[in-house]
Amino acid sequence: MGIRERKLKHKEDLKQSILDAAKQLFQREGYEATSIRKIAAEIEFSPTTIYLYYKDKAEIAHALHREGFKIMADQFRVLSYIEDPFERLKAMGRVYLQFAIDYADYYELMFVMKEPIQHISGCFDMEEWKEGAEAFHLLQSNIIACQEAGYFKGFDPTAFSMVVWSTMHGLCTLKLHGHLDHVIREKGLFEGVEDALQHTFETFVQFLKGTK
**CA–CA separation, 100 vs 173, rounded Å?**
8
Per-residue string for binding with DNA, 26-55, x by CB under 7 A?
--------xxxxx------xxxxx-xx---
182 binds a copy of itself (CB under 8 A): yes
16 binds DNA (CB under 7 A): no
Identity (one letter) of the amino acid at 34? T
Size of the site for a copy of itself (CB under 8 A): 52
Residue 30 or 192: the one with the smaller Cβ distance to DNA is 30
Per-residue string for binding with a copy of itself, 136-165, x by CB under 8 A?
x---------------x--xx-xxx-xx-x
59 binds a copy of itself (CB under 8 A): no
169 binds a copy of itself (CB under 8 A): yes
125 binds a copy of itself (CB under 8 A): no
103 binds a copy of itself (CB under 8 A): no
The region of 2-10, 11-19, 78-86, 178-186 touching a copy of itself under the rule CB under 8 A is 178-186
CA dihedral 25, 34, 174, 152 (to 10 degrees): -70
72 binds a copy of itself (CB under 8 A): no
Q: What is the 3-state secondary structure (H, E, C) of the chain?
A: CCCCCCCCCCCCHHHHHHHHHHHHHHHHHCCCCCCHHHHHHHCCCCHHHHHHCCCCHHHHHHHHHHHHHHHHHHHHHHHHHCCCHHHHHHHHHHHHHHHHHHCHHHHHHHHHCCHHHHHHHCCCCHHHHHHHHHHHHHHHHHHHHHHHCCCCCCCCHHHHHHHHHHHHHHHHHHHHCCCHHHHHHHCCCCCCHHHHHHHHHHHHHHHHHCCC
Footprint of a copy of itself (CB under 8 A): 111-114, 117-118, 120-121, 124, 126, 129, 132-133, 136, 152, 155-156, 158-160, 162-163, 165-171, 173-174, 177-183, 185-187, 189, 196, 199-200, 202-204, 206-207, 210-211
Q: Which residues bind DNA (CB under 7 A)?
A: 1, 11, 14, 34-38, 45-49, 51-52, 56-58
